[in-house]
Each structure stands twice: as structure tokens, then as C-alpha cells.
Structure 1
Amino acid sequence: MSSFSPGSDLVEAREHLRVLVDGVLAKLRAGVLPTLAEREKVDCKEEAGRRGRGGSLLVGEPHNQEAARQLANEVTCMANTPGGGALLVGVEDRTGQLLGAGLDAEWLRHRVYEHVGVASAVEERRVEGVRLLVLYVAEAREPVEDLNGRIRWRTGGHCVGVDRAEWWLHRQLSAGHDPMAQVTQRTEADVSPGAVAVARRYLAAGDADAAAEIGGTTGDLLRSLGVLRPDGRLTAAGALTFCPADRTHISLSVWDVEGGELLSAPRQMVGLSLLEQIALVDERLDTLNKAVRLTAGPGFAQNYVRQLPPGAVREAVLNGVVHRDWMQSDPVAVTWIEEDSAIEVVSPGGFAGGITSDTALTQRYARYPALADLFRALRLVEKQGLGVDRMYRDMVVLGHRPPLLREEAGPRVRVRLVGGSPVVPVMNLMAGIRPEVRQRDVKVALIVHTLLHEPFTTALHLTRILQRGEAEAAEALEVAADCVVGEASLIKRYKDVWVLTDEAVSVVDESAGNEVLRRRGVLSYVRPDLAGAEDVARRWLASHDRYSSGDHSALTGLTYTGARGQLERLERAGLLLRGEGSGRSAHFIAGPALQPTGRSPRDGDG
């Protein structure tokens, strides 16, 4: 009996694909045309956009957007194919000539992931001096749509269309299938008419074209969603979503304050399908989530916004429903707290697939892929995991705190969103960011949120906030630095840290004296009182040996004279000590009250 290591099957599959790629390359070198050399697992592709007039071959570009889109579509085809496959890039389709690939490997991998959510491995190969790229694509755990909304897989060396029901039927016959893809004894006759009506309503709201395409019988609808098999039986995901339930799956309660008076008890929804229960909770939350009138401000046209972003509320609820542990009988508990304009969603079962509260923003995993795919097909949720990004972004662009996600004993996962009146100056700043596409970038939004509440940041500090490595956080900072507000950059370097530019601060600072802003912690470090000055000095000296009047002026917006006066008052209070040196070398170091335990006050003094 041989030993087994988790993930070994994936390693073996990758090595098998590599052998197949080597075989295709050998045949190409021998003059065999790609149509004969290709196998169901290996597809040869020429980079799109490299042909000029008369079919002349142009120089390959490292950031060829057209080629990235073309290959993203081909990656989805391979991902949907049982066992996955490989794309050999840089080979002329008709003749098998090795043309070479100009695409940057890491850029291509990232662009493909951005387009279709599949993270393929990209390997460079040199054949007779020609640079080729090989994209190794693992088999997907759920159907992957290409950029045109199609689901395709490879059959006989070609990509052909496949419907969701056939895809899941094949998955059910495979080892280790998803329990939600299992066949049940329920049929179309067991489907609730109310659930069908709700499904059509959600589809029409999310995509009018899709709703038109699935018009017709209930069977047509269910087959298009991939939950009705050719033999007329429903999958477990379909039965759960569309058939009457024997218990309440979602309980919604309304309180005035936490631990206060119960304003509305959970409604019993036995006999209603999961989809009908979702619709009722959705409608009730839409009523509770009141509109707030905006004061005048540039950059946004709407006169009202909700106390909480509706998309964030729906994502919190549906995330709890789709990714909960369905082996437990407890309902997903949704609580609306009136006075705080807050919502809490508690779902049975802990995080799965290696996700934690520190990686939920960036990691992707579906406990039940068939159920997650059904909710995407219904246009209820975003592509896997992207809704969490949007939940974070939608909260901070209104000046609210980022969502709280944590695992608790049970296990269970709690998500908390706290809203209320938006911070209009923060909205003004976010709406003024150019290029406009960066207003939708969750990384930029979180960087701005951080710098509105802290005087400076670094890539290392942002690793926890962005839930990315230090190199990716540094890249995100460079992206934010390329953004502009008005005629100036959004953020800039100051020594070894990053700060908001004066222009960005000025967009918000016109209301910085407002007590509401101060209570929210927005720009509390700008022109601070002595307690605020102490906080800024403490933050700086936690990672630096010295603090000068110039540093304090740059971080707080005070004049040089005003900054020096504050630091001297902190010195008299024993919080700072004057370092050795004068003139341009004058500085302060941490006094005993600011000193970390075990460090001498004079350590690091120049």
C-alpha cells in the first residue's frame, strides 16, 4: 500500500500534462500539423492580435490585452474539461510553425485570473530557440463561464458548448463529487410555483437578456440553471432551492439596540422554499434599510443613499446561506439593529477550504460548488469571492468601517456591517479619483480608508488590511499613487512611508472640524490637539528612532512652528526627549511614557 499526501493527485495530474505537452512539441518538431498533434488535453494557440496587413507577423507585446482575453476564454474551456488541460501558446494554428510568445508570463496569469477567476500556472519553454508559454489549467470544481457567458469543454480536440445540467451530471459521476450535485427523487412536480416566480424576478432584475433566454416552461428554467437532469430528477441544490422546506432556513429578527427590546421576532417559514425565504428576508431588509438624504457634494448624482449599501447587505446574507454547513439544521440568523443601522449574519459551520477571517477578502472557496453555481446562475451573487471584495469596497467608500468577519465557537461565522449616515466628504474624495475605474478597486478604497484614519502607512502595515503579501501591498500602493484627485496624486511617499497628498486631504478637510467626522476618526490627525499629537508621535516612534518637527508638520498639516510647539509640549510632559543635535539635525526620541518595554530611552539616538 502506497502512502498518500494531500494534493498529490494534483501534482501527478500536472506531471501527466507536462508529458503530453512534450509529446505535442516533439510531433511539431517532426513536422506534424497541430490538428494531428493536439490532444484533448493540449491545445496549440497563436497569440491574438499579432497579424498585420497581409497576415504579416507583428512583434509580440508583453501586455497584449486581446491575446489575454482570447486565452482567458480558452482557459475556461480547459477548466471545464474533466482533468483540466494545457494551452501551448506561440504556435501557428494551421501550419504548426513555432512563432513564439511575447506575453509576459506573470502579467498573463494575473489578467486571465481577473477575466475569468481561474489561476492557471504559466511556464516558459524554449524550443529550438523559440520562447513559448504553457498554461496548465486544473479541472474546475464548478462550471466556469467564459467572457461571453458560455460554458464550454473540450471534446475531440475542440471546445464545444455544454449546459450546466450535463456538466453537473458528469461531475456527479466523478469521484469526490459535491453533495449538492447529487440526484434526488424530487422532480419538476415538487417545485414550488412561488420559487419559480422568484427566480424569474431575480433573473429579470439581474440580466434582462438572460431572463428572456430562459422564458418558457418551468422545466426550461430549471434545465438552464443546471438543476434538472435529463432523467427529470432534481439535484440536491435544485431541490433545496426550489422545493418547499420542512424548516426555516433564514431567521430575521429586529432589535432597537443590542440586548434591548425585540421589535420584530423571526417569522416561521416552514413550507416555503429556500428561494422564497430569501426573497421575503430581502424585501424586509430593504424596508428596514432606510434612505439617508445627502448634503450637496460633487462627484455623485444620487440625492439619497441607504444606511447600509444594499449590495453589501445582500452579499452578507447570501454568503451565509450559500457557504454555511448544510449538514447542520440551525437557520442562518440575521439580526437588524435599528439604532446602530447595523446587520449581523451568523451562519452555521466555520470557515472552510483554508479560509480564515484574515484571508476572507482574497481567498476563494465554495463548500458546495453546485449551490454556489446555482446562485450565480440566478444572478444573486457575484463570481466566486468577488462579492466579498464588493462588500468591503461599498462600505468604506461611504465612510463606514470595513465589514467584520470572524469565526466563533460552534463553529459558526459572524459577519457584521455597521452603517448609518454616510461621510459625504469621504464620498467626495472617492468619487473624485481618476482614472474612474479605480473607484471600483477595493485595494485603492482600503488604502484611502486607512490613510483617512491613520497619518501614514506602509506596505508591511497594509498586508493585514489588504490580506495580501508585502510585495502585493507595495504594488497596490504604487497603483494608488498613480491615481489623481483633481490635478494632484492621491497619495505620495514621505521618507519610508505613504501619506495622503495635501490635495486629497483638502477634499475632506473642509469639514474636518465637524464633530461627526472626529467621532468617526476621519483625519483626526490633521491639526490635532495635544492628545492627537501624542498619538501621531507614538505611531511614528513605534517604527522610527527619531521624530522631528518637520516630520510632525508633514503628517499633521501644522506649520513648522506649530509642529515644533506641540513637540516641545510633549517634551515637557515627559512623553518625548530631545535628541542630540541642533539645527537641521534637531529631533526628539521617545520618552519613558512612549518607550516600549525593555528599551533604553537613548537607544538609537544619533
Structure 2
Amino acid sequence: MLPFSPGADLVEARDRLRVLVDGVLTKLAEGVLPTEVERERIDCKEEAGRRGPGGTLLVGDPHNKEAARQLANEVTCMANTPGGGALLVGIEDRTGQLLGAGLDVDWLRHRVYELVGIAPAVEERRVDGVRLLVIYVAEAREPAENLDGQIRWRTGGHCVGVDRAEWWLHRQLSAGHDPMAQVTERTERDISPGAVAVARRYLAQNSKADVSAVLGGSVRELLTSLGVLRPDGRLTAAGALTFCPADRTHITLSVLDVEGGDLITAPRDLAGLSLLEQVAAIDDRLETLNKSVRVTQATGFAQPHVRQLPPQALREAVLNGVVHRDWMQPDPVSVTWVEEDSAVQVVSPGGFVGGITSDTVLTQRYARYPALADLFRALQLVEKQGLGVDRMYRDMVALGHRPPVLVEEGGPRVRTRLVGGTPVLPVMNLMGAIRPEVRQRDVKVALIVHALLHEPFVTAHMLTHLLQRGESEVLEALEVAAECSVGQDALITQYKDVWTLTWGAISIVNKSSGHEVLRRRGVLRHVKPDVVAAQLVARQWLSTHERYSSGDHSTLTGLTYAGARGQLERLEQAGLLRRGEGSGRSAHFVAGPQMTSAPVEGFPT
């Protein structure tokens, strides 16, 4: 009896595809074009942007953005095709001529992921001395949209458009099993008119594309465009759940005055409403509870009126709990709003799945029910798979709030907590000053800035938990942040083996508000510190370094050299530091008898 290995079917499928690729490459080397059967799974592509005047072949660019966009679109087409397939890059499709590929393997894989959210395997191959690339694309678990928002798959060796309903019909007939993609006996006649009205409202408010045909079309056209109505007129389980009246309440909202305090508003019984109508009812109520705060002198990221919690982060927290919950459990998603704290807590039945944990929510992507997740994405209610969590983090710290908390608890269940309040205007102004502007939307840059507003310095190792990435990726993120600017200054800079905010960045924060307001929020407490904060700066430095000098203290705190030396001498008198061996430029301090080795506290991130 052969041993069983999880994922063995995927490994075998990739091996079979590699054999097919080898056969096609052999034929091409012999001057023979692949057959139509082979072209269904294998597509030959010339790198876009490689032709000059008269069709002259130009030197390949390892970072050819035009070619990356072209291949990203082809990757989505192949991913939508049953069984997936492979792209042979560096081959003229019509003639089979080997032209060569200049794209860098690692750069291309990452760029495709950035563009369409799919990270294919990319291999370098050589045929008759010509460098080619083979891009292996696995079958997608949910419809993959190209850069124009279209869903295409391969038919007869070509990419052709397909609607969501047909995509899910084929998926239902394949080996993959998603309960939400199953067909039901419900039809258009069972749809709640209120759910249709809500769907049209959300599409009108949120869609980036032209949906006038959908908004003005029939209910059947609407449901078909969303991929929930089969050609035979029956609804998928995702469609029936979302659009048909429910026999129970799927989502509740409670309002408290303070944590553990009095109940201001009890949950409503929403049975009889469809899931979409229930979501809209909670959404509307939260919009009323999430009051606006007027801010002044705000630029860039800031707005004249800013909500106590970022609206998109708040919606994502609720919908993430609804879409990814375990629908086999009868309990509703529980939403609690705490008035005094401007905080929301969402408790969702079912634990994390797909390898996701509270330490990987920023980097792992998985949908328990792909068909339901795709439906809410088609309704423009949630971000592309997994990116909504990134946005939650980014939007919260960009207003000076703490990052979200997402943890798994007994039950199992997942609890998400956002704590808002009055936005920290200086933090908003700093985020709005970051250039290039696109980096204002980079969650890694936002989290690095958040950390350095609360810490005197960071290292790549210190940020691995916050960014939920390995040290090498964190170092890349730090280098990206270092290339950003604020006014005439860089955003962050390297000092010895650590990273700090530049004084240009700090000045933007400091001139926006009084120091006391910032320090109560824990922002820049290490700048011109009192003795207590100075002790924390010294302790944190000595937790990762053997010695601490007056120059180090001056650089980290903004004190003059004389002021820094005087402050360290006071810490020496208190027994927290003691002088090390050496004088002059070699003068320094080491940990004293009162300086414990306990984890540093006082600069929370």
C-alpha cells in the first residue's frame, strides 16, 4: 500500500505538466509547432516591448514592466482554465521561433503577484543555448480577474471571456468542492426584492467599473453577472444565502457605553431578511455610530472630517467575519460597539483555516468558501482576496490608532478588535507628506512609520512580528521606506545597525501639536525625553548592544551632546548605567546593576 501524502495530487499534476512542457520544447527545438491539444495547456509568449523599428529584437530588460503586465493577464487566463497550465516565455507564438527571455525570474514572480495576486512558479530553461522562462500556473480556487477586471480562460488554444456563472458551473463539476458553489433548488422567484435593491446600491456606490448595464438591467442579468445564477435558472448556495430570506439572524449588533458596561442598544432580530439585507442593516447602523471628528491643518492623507474609525477598515472587519466564518455553525457573527472607546469587536464562529494564524493574517491568503468570497468581491464589498486585512492595518495606523487585533479563541472563533477615537493629526500629516504618494498606501511603510513613532529605533529583527514577515523581507521593506521622502528629507535613515525616523519627519509631527498630546498617545516619547523615558531608550539600546555612548543617546533623542551626556550621568548615579572602560571618543556606558534584562516596555508598537 502506497503512503498517502497531503497535496500529492497537486504535485503529480505539476509533474504531468512539466512532462508536457518538455515535449513542447523538444518539438520547438526540432522546428515543429505544438499540437492544438498541447496549446490548450501550454501557451507560447514573446516578451512585450522587445521589438524596435522594423521588428528588430531589442536587448531584454530584466525588469520589463510592459512584459510583466502582459504575462500577468495571461497568468489569470491560465489560472481560470481547468487544470491550469504553463506559459513558455521567449517564443514567437505563431512561428515557434526561439527569441529568448530577458526577465529576471524572482522579479517577474513578485511583479505578477503584485498585479493580479497570483504567485506562479517560474523556471529558467535553455533550449539550443536560448534562455526561456516557464511559468507554471495552478488552477485558481475562485475566478481570477485580469488587469481590466475581466475573467478569461483558454478554449481552443486562445483566451476567451467567461462570466462568473459559467466559471462556477464548471468548477462545481470539477474535483474541487466548495459547499457555497453547489446548486440549490432556489430560483429567481425566491430572491428578496430588498436584497436586489441593496446589491444595486452597493454596486452604484462602490464599483470602479461601469456597471450601468447591471444597475439598469433585469434581476436575472444582475444575478448572472455576480455568478450566482446558473444557466438553468437555479441559484448557487452562495447566491441563495446572500439573496434569499433567512430563517435566522446571521449577524447581531450590540452597543455598550463602556467595556463590560451598560447595554445601550440590544441586538435586533433580523430573521426573515436575506444575509445581504442584514449586512446592510448593520452597516448603516455602524455608519451612524462611527461619528465624524473635525480636524484642521490636515493635508495629504487627512480629511476635513475624519471618522473615529476608518470606514473601510470597520466594514472589512465586519465582512471578514461574515464571509470567512464557519457557516456550518448556527451562531451569528457578533458585533459589539463600545461608545466611550469608539471601538468595535467582531466575533466570528469558526477558527482560522488554511494555515492562517493571528501571526500570519497579513501574509497568508485563504478563503474557506471561495464562491461566497468572490460574490462579496463582485458586489464591491470586500477587497481582493486577503488585501482587506492589509487595508485594515494601514488605515488604522495612518490615523495614529493601534493596529487591529485578530486572534483565535475557544469555540473556535475569531475575534477582531479595532480601537479608534480622535485621530492623531500629527501622524496623519506625516503619512500625508510621504512621497511618492503611492507609498502612503503601502501597509509595510505605514507599519514601519507606526513603529518608529513609538520606538526610538528598530531593526529588521524587531519588526518581524509587526510586519509578519521574515528578516530579509523586513529589510527590503526598510530599504523601500528609506527611499521615501517627506519634504526635503528622507522618511527614515540608518544609524549604525538600526533605523530611525529622520529629524525632518519628526519635525512634521512635532510642529502639528503640543508634545504632551503626543506623549499621552505614546508618540515620540523618546524625543527630548525625561529621565524615565531616557531610561527606556538606554535599556532598549543595551538589550541589543553591548555599549551606549552619549553620541548614541544624542542621535536617538535629539538632545545636544552635552545634554545627552548629562542625562546618562544621572542614570549612572541611579545605578542604571555604569561607565565602561575607555575615555574620550571611546567613552561609553554599559548596563548597571539596576538595569534588568527584562523585556523593554514603554514604547509599545
**TM bracket (short chain):** over 0.9
Superposed CA deviations along residues 519-575 of structure 1, whole A, max 9, x for unmatched, are 110000001100000000110000100000000000011111111111111111011
Compared CA separation, residues 90 and 303, structure 1 to 2 (3 A): same
In structure 2, the residue matched to 1:601 is none
In structure 2, the residue matched to 1:488 is 489
Give the Å deviation of 1:591.
1.1
Look up the equivalent residue of 1:469 and give its one-letter code.
G
Give the Å deviation of 1:94.
2.0
Look up the equivalent residue of 2:380 and give its one-letter code.
R
Show the 5 A alignment for 1:303-382: 303-382=304-383
Superposed CA deviations along residues 148-199 of structure 1, whole A, max 9, x for unmatched, are 1111111121111111111111111122410000111111110000000100
Count how many residue pairs are aligned between Structure 1 and Structure 2. Answer: 597
Superposed CA deviations along residues 310-369 of structure 1, whole A, max 9, x for unmatched, are 000000000000000000011100001000011111100010100000000111000000
Give the Å deviation of 1:464.
0.8
In structure 1, the residue matched to 2:499 is 498
Residue segments in structure 2 that go unaligned for 5+ positions in a row = 599-605
- Preserved CA contact (<8 Å) 2:302 2:429: no
In structure 2, the residue matched to 1:542 is 543
Give the distance between the partners of 1:384 and 1:134, measured in 2 at CA: 26
In structure 2, the residue matched to 1:239 is 240
Give the distance between the partners of 2:544 and 2:134, measured in 1 at CA: 44
In structure 2, the residue matched to 1:160 is 160
Superposed CA deviations along residues 209-238 of structure 1, whole A, max 9, x for unmatched, are 443132311111111111111111111000
- Preserved CA contact (<8 Å) 2:301 2:431: no
In structure 2, the residue matched to 1:140 is 140
Give the Å deviation of 1:593.
2.1
Give the Å deviation of 1:403.
0.5
Look up the equivalent residue of 2:545 and give its one-letter code.
H
- Preserved CA contact (<8 Å) 1:350 1:412: yes
Look up the equivalent residue of 2:325 and give its one-letter code.
R
Compared CA separation, residues 336 and 81, structure 1 to 2 (3 A): same
Show the 5 A alignment for 1:539-578: 539-578=540-579
In structure 2, the residue matched to 1:80 is 80
- Preserved CA contact (<8 Å) 1:80 1:152: yes
SS of match in other structure, 1:263: strand
The TM-score, its normalising length taken from structure 1, stands at 0.97
Give the distance between the partners of 1:542 and 1:208, measured in 2 at CA: 49
Give the distance between the partners of 2:574 and 2:345, measured in 1 at CA: 43
In structure 1, the residue matched to 2:112 is 112
For the aligned residues, what is the CA RMSD? Answer: 1.2
> Does residue 1:591 correspond to 2:568, yes or no?
no
Look up the equivalent residue of 1:175 and give its one-letter code.
A
Give the Å deviation of 1:35.
6.6
- Preserved CA contact (<8 Å) 1:44 1:91: yes
Look up the equivalent residue of 2:575 and give its one-letter code.
G
In structure 2, the residue matched to 1:477 is 478
In structure 1, the residue matched to 2:207 is 207
> Does residue 1:466 correspond to 2:467, yes or no?
yes
Look up the equivalent residue of 2:442 and give its one-letter code.
D
Show the 5 A alignment for 1:78-477: 78-207=78-207, 209-214=209-214, 215-300=216-301, 302-477=303-478
SS of match in other structure, 1:39: helix
Look up the equivalent residue of 2:78 and give its one-letter code.
M
Give the distance between the partners of 2:2 and 2:15, measured in 1 at CA: 18
Superposed CA deviations along residues 420-473 of structure 1, whole A, max 9, x for unmatched, are 111111111110011111111010000000000000001111111111111110
Greater alpha carbon shift after TM alignment, 314-323 vs 26-35:
26-35
Show the 5 A alignment for 1:5-44: 5-33=5-33, 38-44=38-44
Look up the equivalent residue of 1:266 and give its one-letter code.
P
Give the distance between the partners of 1:81 and 1:36, measured in 2 at CA: 15
In structure 2, the residue matched to 1:45 is 45
Give the Å deviation of 1:14.
1.1
In structure 1, the residue matched to 2:601 is none
Compared CA separation, residues 370 and 386, structure 1 to 2 (3 A): same
Give the distance between the partners of 1:374 and 1:488, measured in 2 at CA: 45
Look up the equivalent residue of 1:41 and give its one-letter code.
R
Give the distance between the partners of 2:8 and 2:299, measured in 1 at CA: 56
- Preserved CA contact (<8 Å) 1:433 1:484: yes
Compared CA separation, residues 539 and 526, structure 1 to 2 (3 A): same
Give the distance between the partners of 2:481 and 2:37, measured in 1 at CA: 46
Compared CA separation, residues 444 and 208, structure 1 to 2 (3 A): closer
> Does residue 1:532 correspond to 2:533, yes or no?
yes
Give the Å deviation of 1:511.
4.9
Residue segments in structure 1 that go unaligned for 5+ positions in a row = 598-606
Superposed CA deviations along residues 75-128 of structure 1, whole A, max 9, x for unmatched, are 001101111100000001222111100011111001100111111001000111
Give the Å deviation of 1:146.
0.6
Look up the equivalent residue of 2:6 and give its one-letter code.
P
> Does residue 1:517 correspond to 2:538, yes or no?
no
SS of match in other structure, 1:550: helix
Give the distance between the partners of 1:430 and 1:208, measured in 2 at CA: 25
Greater alpha carbon shift after TM alignment, 203-212 vs 500-509:
203-212
Give the distance between the partners of 1:13 and 1:241, measured in 2 at CA: 35
Greater alpha carbon shift after TM alignment, 512-521 vs 123-132:
512-521
Greater alpha carbon shift after TM alignment, 211-220 vs 378-387:
211-220
Give the Å deviation of 1:34.
5.1
Extract structure 1 runs of 4+ deviating beyond 2 A. Answer: 33-39, 208-211, 297-302, 510-516
Give the Å deviation of 1:37.
8.4
Look up the equivalent residue of 1:39 and give its one-letter code.
R
Superposed CA deviations along residues 229-283 of structure 1, whole A, max 9, x for unmatched, are 1111111000000000000011001111011111100111000000000001110
Look up the equivalent residue of 1:577 and give its one-letter code.
R
Give the distance between the partners of 1:463 and 1:154, measured in 2 at CA: 41
SS of match in other structure, 1:592: coil
Give the distance between the partners of 2:210 and 2:10, measured in 1 at CA: 35
Give the distance between the partners of 1:256 and 1:308, measured in 2 at CA: 17
